[in-house]
Structure 1
């Protein structure tokens, strides 16, 4: 049996508390798979925190209104915040 790839999203209410969670199996961790999940499970203006995988590049292109990508990282976890 090969690897099983999963992707998840957690909605945070009022910037503090985890609320709804989404978890989905994906075929692989390429740009198409990751961007499809993000497009289908987030709204414009969502803050995404990723592991910095290169497949997340150009996330702002997912939304017609664009978005901002920040270069700052959460030093404790090595996660990269991005707004789409």
Structure 2
């Protein structure tokens, strides 16, 4: 069940991510820049834990070893495909 959720939401997230990148002209080549420190599965997990249990972004950031802003961005990116908006 989780694998199906990851696959379905992952495809939706990738489409939204690519569309957001295509809106503005690029300053760097595609693929240039820093790698995501939080892979998609971790982004999805952090979002689900936040939505279900109300765990704060600060706590999630410590659990995943990233900055709070990374969690905030991840939740903001993953939540719309989950809710269908």
TM range (shorter): under 0.3
TM-score, L = length of structure 2: 0.23
Between Structure 1 and Structure 2, the one with more helix by share is: 2
State the TM-score, normalizing by the size of structure 1: 0.23
Indicate the structure with greater strand content: 1
